[in-house]
């Protein structure tokens, strides 16, 4: 069974996309490393307002305990009050950093404040520096983390829609008689997208999630992963369920002779403490002239990506603001590429 995979972010408030167009989102600058004496935390909200006016379809925030940053759902609540049409998303939220019931209430609150514009990209973390130490800081056990993630999402959906007390008994989570919770704006709650591209993650995305937000460095791997998700969705009887194929990609438009290589390297060191040669083995990147970036992003569009979630690979807020107009200007060319393939 082949999935139609219609875009699950097309709501009454934000119906600018679908399978026939490429949508574009951008991360707002929420980490301390991007601020300066002239640009502080409040600029993250101003940046989001500017990005909406520029024409972006969605605004995104990251989530971690490792580096000083604004808390993800707090930022989205602030953006909900000052934006009107853009989707507001997490890329990716780590549910393990929060207690499941409290997180369900916070998420439902943001969904209500935004009138149904929230999307949750979620993940279980990674081995190494971004895995066990983060779980330890949150007081969450590292074993069974994928089962914990799936059960947390299932519990959230019950709480967002359930009438009366809710009981939940999984392999990891156990709750009895949770009092009626805050219900989300939309029936069923906000769409939940899964990150990750392992075979197990692809199967889980197809069986139980509303979208996919990976960052594979090879576009062919994106296409293969999406095919695996479609197969899993069909086997689970979800072949016609709304689903958004998205892409997390570090992007920079530049006329530099090296195609932005030095800028990407500086960005990798600032954010991960590693050179670009290491990071490009695990993350998608697109840099260079507008034509070069269209060609690079177009490879993913050709493999099925329909919502490009862009993290601007520039060091500070002024530099990122300078990229907004140039990035949105790429959309007609990307849609032309898509039209040529359909």
Categorize the per-residue pLDDT at 337 as very low, low, confident or very high, splitting at 50, 70 and 90.
Answer: very high
Specify if 73 maps to a domain.
yes
User: Residue 227 above 70 pLDDT?
Assistant: yes
Question: Rounded to an integer, what distance in angstroms lies between the CA atom of residue 181 and that of residue 158?
Answer: 9
Q: What are the two backbone dihedrals, phi and then psi, of residue 303, each rounded to the nearest 5 degrees? A: -95, 0
Specify if 318 maps to a domain.
yes
Query: Residues of the chain with pLDDT > 90: what percent?
Result: 82
User: Residue 338 above 70 pLDDT?
Assistant: yes
How confident is the model over 147-196, as pLDDT tens digits?
Answer: 999 999 999 999 999 778 999 999 999 999 999 889 999 989 999 999 99
What lies within 8 Å, CB to CB, of 122 at 6+ separation is 90, 92, 93, 94, 95, 149, 153, 192, 193, 194, 195
Specify if 18 maps to a domain.
no
How much is the pLDDT for 13?
32
User: Residue 216 above 60 pLDDT?
Assistant: yes
How much is the pLDDT for 39?
76
Q: pTM of the full predicted structure?
A: 0.94
Q: What is the mean pLDDT of residues 183-211?
A: 96
Domain count, the chain: 1
Specify if 17 maps to a domain.
no
How confident is the model over 5-53, as pLDDT tens digits?
Answer: 455 555 433 322 345 799 999 999 999 888 877 778 889 999 999 999 9
The CATH number for 159's domain is 3.20.20.30
User: Residue 237 above 60 pLDDT?
Assistant: yes
Specify if 316 maps to a domain.
yes
Question: Rounded to an integer, what distance in angstroms lies between the CA atom of residue 2 and that of residue 243?
Answer: 12
Q: Are 282 and 217 in contact (CB under 8 A)?
A: yes
Query: How do strand 192-194 and strand 87-93 relate by DSSP bridges?
Result: unpaired
Dihedral in degrees, nearest 10, Cα atoms 212, 218, 224, 227: 30
How much is the pLDDT for 16?
29
How much is the pLDDT for 129?
76
How much is the pLDDT for 66?
82
Question: Rounded to an integer, what distance in angstroms lies between the CA atom of residue 296 and that of residue 288?
Answer: 9
How confident is the model over 291-334, as pLDDT tens digits?
Answer: 999 999 999 999 999 999 999 999 999 999 999 999 999 999 99
HEC-encoded secondary structure of 13-25: CECCCCCCCCEEE
Specify if 2 maps to a domain.
no
How much is the pLDDT for 176?
96
How much is the pLDDT for 342?
54
What's the domain range around 315?
23-341
Specify if 326 maps to a domain.
yes
Per the listing, tokens 């030095």 go with 262
How confident is the model over 104-146, as pLDDT tens digits?
Answer: 999 999 999 999 999 999 999 888 777 889 999 999 999 999 9
- Name the more confident of 341 and 126: 126
Average pLDDT, the chain: 92
What lies within 8 Å, CB to CB, of 46 at 6+ separation is none
Question: Rounded to an integer, what distance in angstroms lies between the CA atom of residue 61 and that of residue 53?
Answer: 18
How much is the pLDDT for 14?
35
Specify if 15 maps to a domain.
no
């Amino acid at each position: 069974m082949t999935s139609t995979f219609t875009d699950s972010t097309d709501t009454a408030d934000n119906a600018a996309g679908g399978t026939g167009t490429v949508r574009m989102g951008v991360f707002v600058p929420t980490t301390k490393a991007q601020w300066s004496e002239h640009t502080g935390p409040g600029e993250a909200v101003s940046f989001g307002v500017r990005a909406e006016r520029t024409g972006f379809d969605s605004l995104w925030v990251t989530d971690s305990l490792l580096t000083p940053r604004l808390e993800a759902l707090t930022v989205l609540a602030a953006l909900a009050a000052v934006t009107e049409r853009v989707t507001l998303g997490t890329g990716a939220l780590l549910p393990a950093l929060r207690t499941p019931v409290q997180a369900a209430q916070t998420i439902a609150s943001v969904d209500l404040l935004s009138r149904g514009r929230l999307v949750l990209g979620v993940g279980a973390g990674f081995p190494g520096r971004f895995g066990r130490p983060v779980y330890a800081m949150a007081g969450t056990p590292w074993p069974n983390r994928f089962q914990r993630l799936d059960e947390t999402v299932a519990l959230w959906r019950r709480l967002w829609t359930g009438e009366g007390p809710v009981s939940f008994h999984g392999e990891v989570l156990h709750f009895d008689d949770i009092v009626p919770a805050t219900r989300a704006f939309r029936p069923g709650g906000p769409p939940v997208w899964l990150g990750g591209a392992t075979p197990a993650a692809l199967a889980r995305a197809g069986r139980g999630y509303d979208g996919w937000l990976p960052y594979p460095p090879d576009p062919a791997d994106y296409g293969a992963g999406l095919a695996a998700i479609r197969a899993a969705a069909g086997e689970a009887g979800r072949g016609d369920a709304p689903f958004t194929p998205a892409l997390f990609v570090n992007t920079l438009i530049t006329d530099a002779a090296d195609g932005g290589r030095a800028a990407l390297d500086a960005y990798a060191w600032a954010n991960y403490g590693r050179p670009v040669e290491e990071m490009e083995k695990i993350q998608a990147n697109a840099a260079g002239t507008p034509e070069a970036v269209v060609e690079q992003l177009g490879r993913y569009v050709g493999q099925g990506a329909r919502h490009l979630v862009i993290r601007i690979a520039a060091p500070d807020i002024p530099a990122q603001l300078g990229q907004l107009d140039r990035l949105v200007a790429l959309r007609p060319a990307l849609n032309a590429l898509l039209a040529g393939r359909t």
